[in-house]
Amino acid sequence: MTRMIPFIALGAAAFLFAGAAGASTIVIGGASANECSDAALKGRSDDRAVLACTTALELENLNFRDRAKTYVNRGVLQMRQHQFEAARADFDQASSLDPNLGEAYVNRGATLVGQARYHEGVAQIDKGLSMGVKDPERALYNRALAHEGLGDLRAAYLDYAKAAELNPDWTAPKTELARFTVKRP
């Protein structure tokens, strides 16, 4: 069976993953922080959205949680642009500001999966899931991609199935599940 493993990024901290499998966060802050949050939640990846996040981080008076979430959102936007190193640096900043922000770990894991660093990606996603995230189905989807990359098709299938169960309206895991044939002993 030939299978192509697409990269789907996590993207939003408080309101995880919109569109691709990215986890973004909702930020209650200044205009730029709100634009950044909105862009991440709506699946944008344009430079203007990244600039809004940077402006918020540099000029707006954000509390530590909103600052951490803004780093996650900017990281998500950069991840969508396949700027994995810059995205991971933002997720590192977010987790240093708020070590309990599961979305920072899940998204860091997604960048690693996007770079075919599957073992590391699974470890980060597992850590984020253990901390709790708003939309775990997005994390499970990314972990399934990693399991496929590692050749563990059973684990991939189970994660895709759980993701589909958690969010029946999301088609991405169902599309992946359709590629599998399950044989009973």
Q: For residue 49, tell me if it sits in a domain.
A: yes
Residue 1 lies in a domain: no
Phi-psi region of 19 (alpha: psi -120 to 50; beta: other; left: phi over 0): left
What residue numbers bound the domain in which 40 lies? 11-177
Least confident of 37-46, 80-89, 91-100: 37-46
Number of domains forming the structure of the chain? 1
Give strand ranges (E) for 49-180.
none
Does residue 172 fall inside a structural domain?
yes
Strand partners, 11: 23
31 domain residue, yes or no = yes
Q: Can you list the positions of beta strands (E) in the chain?
A: 11-12, 23-24
pLDDT at 15 over 60: no
> What number of CA atoms fall less than 13 Å from residue 98's CA on the CB side?
23
Between 26 and 91, residue with greater pLDDT: 91
CA of residue 55 relative to chain centroid, distance: 22
What is the share, in percent, of the chain residues with pLDDT greater than 90?
75
In a domain, 6, yes or no: no
pLDDT tens-place string over residues 86-140:
999 999 999 999 999 999 999 999 999 999 999 999 999 999 999 999 889 999 9
Half-sphere exposure of 97 (CA within 13 A, CB side): 20
* Residue 113 falls inside a structural domain: yes
> pLDDT grade, residue 182 (50/70/90)?
confident
Global confidence as pTM: 0.82
Nearest to 126 by CA among 110, 114, 115: 110
Q: How many residues appear in the chain?
A: 185
Q: With 90 as the cut, is the pLDDT of residue 52 above it?
A: yes
Q: If DSSP codes are grouped into helix, strand and coil, which group holds residue 24?
A: strand
44 within a domain of the structure (yes/no):
yes
Query: Which domain CATH number covers 112?
Result: 1.25.40.10
Report yes or no on 152 lying in a domain: yes
